[in-house]
Structure 1
Amino acid sequence: MALKDSLLARPSLTSAVTLTCALGLLYFGRPVLEPLVLALILSLVISPLIRVFHRWGLGFLTSTILSLLLAGASVVVVGAVLALQLVSVTKELPHYRAAIHAKIGKIQELTERPFIRLAAELNAVSPLTKGSTGAQPATTGLPRNATQAIPVEIRTPAPAARDTVARFVSVVSGPLGEAGLVFVLLVFILLEHESLRERVVRLAGQGDASRTMRTLAHAAEGVSRFFFSQFLVNIIFALTVSLGLWLLQVPHALLWGSLSGLLRFVPYIGALAAGVAITLFVAAIDPGWTLALSCMAMFAALEVVVANIVEPKVYGHSSGLSPLAVIVSALFWGTLWGPAGLLISTPLTLCLVVAGRHIRALEAVTILFADTPSVSEAERFYHRVLAGSSTAIIDHARTYLRRHSFARYCDHVLLPGLSLANADRALGLIDQAQQDRIRGSVITLADTLALASNGGRGTWRRRKVSLADANIGAHLRHAREARLGAFQGSLDVPLHSVVLCAGFANERDEFRNELLVLALREVCGDVRSIVLGQPQPEPVTDKGSLVGTAFIMYPDQTSFDEWRVLSSELREHLPDATLVTVRHHSDMNLPRQSEVAQSVDIVLQSFEECLAFVTPVTPEKAGVAKRS
């Protein structure tokens, strides 16, 4: 037993040790890893520009140098313009010093006055103050023999040449030195990108060459698309802010607009810092509060629109990360690597998410941080019915049916999801409470879809269904009979105009029967259902000539012999009808299709095929088919 426990605990212990070592390497290896990662991400950003120049007929070396010069010149020009604007603003700030001090005094007065008044009230009613006689004032005079203090002036000596050189070296070795190191690494990475790619493929193994190349291509495409989308959004944001501040007659509107666009590259915190900076500046230059509040409201409204409407359509979908993943990645990388980590948090996490789609060790990152979870529509439906989330299921079904047919919804969502539930129930993985939630959610969904198929004008009154013994298919059939009559429609119809769906008197067949009826009613006006093995009403026993197509549910292993007998009887009663059965791709442990096909005219594989099978051919389509 102890050996078994140790074997079970070993993978978790190994994973914990590996994760701890990775975090330690990232934290203590920051001086080496940070510039290297920055250079790699910048190389992915500049690579599309290099490819554009290369397609124009320039050589690779020329394209790389030209791209670097263009990118560097753009950074230098923008930096110089912003620096000049900042210098101008700094020179003008002394003129606004009086307004700043006055507003700071007002803010202090507004914030401190309630507390001072509260303290005075408390001191007035405090029992300690009622009996006190007052403290004797302390003598402030000096003793007679005390000497008067002599003021001392401390002067800083002029810096020596050695100190000036040291200060210059510290500045160069700081941010400027790191920027230079990143630029040098960027140059060599761009020039050696072919060699680096071959080394990565060789390191991953020649057997995984295709997967490695696919991972690198997806990472490069994702990061490039992310930065391009973010660049467009931030440029538009900067121009809009500049225009708004200019209309409000704020000095240096272009500077604050450009600063807003640049700071928005930092997730979440950047936009907040830009808004605070603009509000403080406007509050300093204006003696009142109206202009500052107007600018703050304009910036906040614009940020809300961009973050909640523009970015989800342009930037959110192109990033490949969920909104929560962006926040968590910014917090994680910002804590590890400071401002640089905060800036590259999104593209770096995006690369890990892309790698997790192809590397099993990073699969957890993709599952947690990708924009869409790695689950199918059927799995999501199963999770929701397990939780009893009927509202979410119905909302998703309505959204899905706006773009696709109900037959496709059954094929790709509903039936595969219920197959997962049946498989888990057979293994004993679902308790009774979960089974009741599943049944209740499916009943609610079926009622809603049935009512929607009637245009929302149902005349039948919804009956309460017991979750213990509910047959959802029978419930839907009885509801349709209550609305259309006992024969589910008139018997005075043309020959071969009725589509009939038939199945056994069990929950599986009756439910699928009714789903198929709902699916076929999208293209056929007269679709009805019967239960095999039960006596039919007298008026319909001799109306077999009205049926043109009869769908019979595919049998399971336990009822195959009975199914063959009943299908033969159905063929006798419907001599002119085409007998069709449907073997859905989500069904398992069913009889072989070759054996079933002997009792029917055709075997289809999905509800969508059934829909195509009964779709009437218009004269235009028939003419096109004849000409082809």
Structure 2
Amino acid sequence: MNETKQDPREPAIVAPAIGLVNRQTFQAAPRRAITGIFLILLFGALYLAASFVLPVVFALLFMLVLSPVVRFAQRKLHIWPPLTAAALVFGTFLVIIGGFSFLTGPLTDLASNVPRYIAAVNEEVEAVRERLGTLRGARIEASQAVRSEAAPQGPQSVILDGPRLLNSAALLVPQIAASIAFALIFLFFLLSSGSLFYQKLIESLPKLSDKKLALTIAHEIETELSRYLFTITLINAGLGVVIGTLMWAIDLPMAPVFGVLAFALNFIPYLGAIAGMMLVGLVGLAEHGEVSGALLPVLLYLAATTVEGQFLTPILVGRRLAMNAAAIFLAVAFWGWIWGVVGMFLAVPIMVGLRIVAGYVDGLKPLANFLSAERHPSEGHDDAETE
């Protein structure tokens, strides 16, 4: 029988190979740790510097949306970019002022009625407790004993009042006004510079391939965000008109205000619709004094948002910008945790830009795949052929 002889040079070859693998493994671990530490510090900085970062993010977002208008006016109409930028910024300012002027009065009335709305909710809760208590005699006796020992009487759950809420809102007005002014001024400088932003971006990169890739990514983000925000704004405007009309048809007070709020809240996926339904349900309960009066506006609101979310938005936005529903929900929750309600409005635009960038970077392709919606095999084949 022939025995296989071991090559005496094999240990000298295998040992360095094993050592190389171990070195690569140990070298990759610190890089992952550094990346994790960097992300933690980054999100911590975004949280702490929200008052400065948010106006900058809004200005950059509007710059990406309005830059095509400035370039079109410069190339086709031969208008000086600062003039176009000033007109766009002034128009944005007028829209903001008009929105505040329209909503200030109705929202003040709504805030002043908050105790009445909460009292109506408390009455319904107490009624439900009494109905459940008839089936549980022991619980009735215990609740009566607790109520007899408790000193305060009346609806203790009503802890909000109109003046206190208005005073807290008044304290935020100067800060909000300063943030809006800063964002508009910064937006003017970004738009008036024309293509200087992209030129500086290209000049900061060393390789020609990196310059072309950065320019491609920037233009695609600009195009997709402009298309997405324009389409979603039109959809939400139509939804606001429909909901305002439905609330007016059932004689719900301040129906136009609910239409405007539906328009604004629908920029927040999922959670915005839930907040709108809770609001109309609360007002309906306070006005009619019974649960059936709250169910009708909630059901109408739910029907309108369901038609919009399941039919209109997929058709008008298209599959190109379709994203993973779970990823959208996580993004809304995360940026809401970082920046509050404003972060919820910014979650989807940030997600769109991140998905586009991840699609061009080899190491981030799994992230782009996770953020994208599920595609049919035929769609993926068509995309591959197109590329």
Bin the TM-score by the shorter chain.
0.7 to 0.9
Deviations 1:378-405 (A, max 9, x none): 999xxxxxxxxxxxxxxxxxxx9xxxxx
User: Which of the pair has the greater relative contact order for Cα pairs under 8 Å at 6+ separation?
Assistant: 2
Deviation at 1:363, TM superposition (A): 2.9
Q: 1:224 aligns with which of 211, 223, 226?
A: 226
Matching residue of 1:246? 248
Residues 1:111 and 2:113 are matched in the alignment:
no
Deviations 1:22-74 (A, max 9, x none): 23213224415433222211211222443454444432111111111112111
Matching residue of 2:205? 204
Secondary structure at the residue paired with 2:267?
Answer: coil
Distance 1:29 1:107, change over 3 A: closer
Deviations 1:84-141 (A, max 9, x none): 22234456x39x94x86455323223135525853717999xxxxxxxxxxxxxxxxx
Distance 1:80 1:168, change over 3 A: closer
Residues 1:63 and 2:84 are matched in the alignment:
yes
Q: 2:313 aligns with which of 311, 314, 318?
A: 311
Indicate the RMSD between aligned Cα atoms, in angstroms. 3.3
Residues 1:4 and 2:21 are matched in the alignment:
yes
Q: How does 1:128-143 map to 2 (within 5 A)?
A: none
C-alpha distance in 1 between matches for 2:308 and 2:37: 38
Q: 1:359 aligns with which of 351, 358, 361?
A: 361
Q: 1:83 aligns with which of 101, 104, 122?
A: 104
Distance 1:379 1:280, change over 3 A: closer
C-alpha distance in 2 between matches for 1:61 and 1:378: 43
Matching residue of 1:281? 283
Tell whether the 8 Å contact from 1:222 to 1:318 is kept in structure 2 after alignment. no
Residues 1:22 and 2:39 are matched in the alignment:
yes
Deviation at 1:2, TM superposition (A): 6.0
Distance 1:28 1:43, change over 3 A: same
Deviation at 1:258, TM superposition (A): 0.9
Deviation at 1:351, TM superposition (A): 0.9
Q: How does 1:414-429 map to 2 (within 5 A)?
A: none
C-alpha distance in 2 between matches for 1:242 and 1:181: 33
Tell whether the 8 Å contact from 2:242 to 2:259 is kept in structure 1 after alignment. yes
C-alpha distance in 2 between matches for 1:48 and 1:210: 19
Residues 1:38 and 2:39 are matched in the alignment:
no
Deviation at 1:13, TM superposition (A): 3.9
Q: How does 1:308-347 map to 2 (within 5 A)?
A: 308-315=310-317, 317=319, 319-347=321-349
Deviation at 1:206, TM superposition (A): 4.5
Q: How does 1:474-553 map to 2 (within 5 A)?
A: none
Distance 1:378 1:243, change over 3 A: closer
Distance 1:210 1:255, change over 3 A: same
Deviation at 1:238, TM superposition (A): 0.3
C-alpha distance in 2 between matches for 1:170 and 1:101: 26
Tell whether the 8 Å contact from 1:215 to 1:354 is kept in structure 2 after alignment. yes
Deviation at 1:291, TM superposition (A): 3.2
Deviation at 1:339, TM superposition (A): 2.4
Match for 2:67: what amino acid?
A: S
Matching residue of 1:47? 67
Secondary structure at the residue paired with 2:340?
Answer: helix
Matching residue of 1:269? 271
Deviations 1:504-556 (A, max 9, x none): xxxxxxxxxxxxxxxxxxxxxxxxxxxxxxxxxxxxxxxxxxxxxxxxxxxxx
Tell whether the 8 Å contact from 2:358 to 2:364 is kept in structure 1 after alignment. yes
Tell whether the 8 Å contact from 2:332 to 2:343 is kept in structure 1 after alignment. yes
Deviations 1:180-212 (A, max 9, x none): 322222222222342221111122234122222
The TM-score with structure 1 as length reference comes to 0.48
C-alpha distance in 1 between matches for 2:84 and 2:221: 22
Tell whether the 8 Å contact from 2:121 to 2:282 is kept in structure 1 after alignment. no
Distance 1:204 1:108, change over 3 A: farther
Deviation at 1:346, TM superposition (A): 0.9
Match for 2:253: what amino acid?
A: P
Match for 2:200: what amino acid?
A: R
Secondary structure at the residue paired with 1:267?
Answer: coil
Q: How does 1:345-494 map to 2 (within 5 A)?
A: 345-371=347-373
Deviations 1:302-333 (A, max 9, x none): 11111111111123535342222211221232
Tell whether the 8 Å contact from 1:225 to 1:319 is kept in structure 2 after alignment. no
Q: Identity, % of aligned pairs?
A: 18
Deviation at 1:376, TM superposition (A): 6.9
C-alpha distance in 1 between matches for 2:120 and 2:176: 37
C-alpha distance in 2 between matches for 1:172 and 1:122: 47
Distance 1:183 1:283, change over 3 A: same
Match for 2:138: what amino acid?
A: A
For the pair shown, the structure with the greater C-alpha radius of gyration is 1
More strand by share: 1
More helix by share: 2
Deviations 1:348-383 (A, max 9, x none): 11111111222334333212212357x976999xxx
Matching residue of 2:164? none
Match for 2:258: what amino acid?
A: W
C-alpha distance in 2 between matches for 1:123 and 1:2: 76
Match for 2:61: what amino acid?
A: I
Matching residue of 2:163? none
Q: 2:236 aligns with which of 234, 237, 245?
A: 234
Q: Which runs of 5+ in 2 are unaligned?
A: 1-17, 143-167
Distance 1:69 1:211, change over 3 A: same
Tell whether the 8 Å contact from 1:223 to 1:350 is kept in structure 2 after alignment. yes
Q: Which runs of 5+ in 1 are unaligned?
A: 125-166, 381-399, 401-411, 413-628
C-alpha distance in 2 between matches for 1:48 and 1:306: 28
The TM-score with structure 2 as length reference comes to 0.76
C-alpha distance in 2 between matches for 1:34 and 1:330: 15
Tell whether the 8 Å contact from 1:245 to 1:295 is kept in structure 2 after alignment. yes
Matching residue of 1:213? 215
C-alpha distance in 2 between matches for 1:6 and 1:185: 48
Q: How does 1:550-561 map to 2 (within 5 A)?
A: none
Q: How many residues are matched? A: 336
C-alpha distance in 2 between matches for 1:64 and 1:196: 14
Match for 1:114: what amino acid?
A: L
Tell whether the 8 Å contact from 2:124 to 2:290 is kept in structure 1 after alignment. no
Secondary structure at the residue paired with 2:204?
Answer: helix
Tell whether the 8 Å contact from 1:45 to 1:223 is kept in structure 2 after alignment. yes
C-alpha distance in 1 between matches for 2:355 and 2:175: 32
C-alpha distance in 1 between matches for 2:220 and 2:103: 35
Match for 2:24: what amino acid?
A: L
Tell whether the 8 Å contact from 2:82 to 2:193 is kept in structure 1 after alignment. no
C-alpha distance in 1 between matches for 2:338 and 2:139: 48
Secondary structure at the residue paired with 2:177?
Answer: helix
Distance 1:307 1:12, change over 3 A: farther
Secondary structure at the residue paired with 1:250?
Answer: coil
Match for 1:272: what amino acid?
A: I
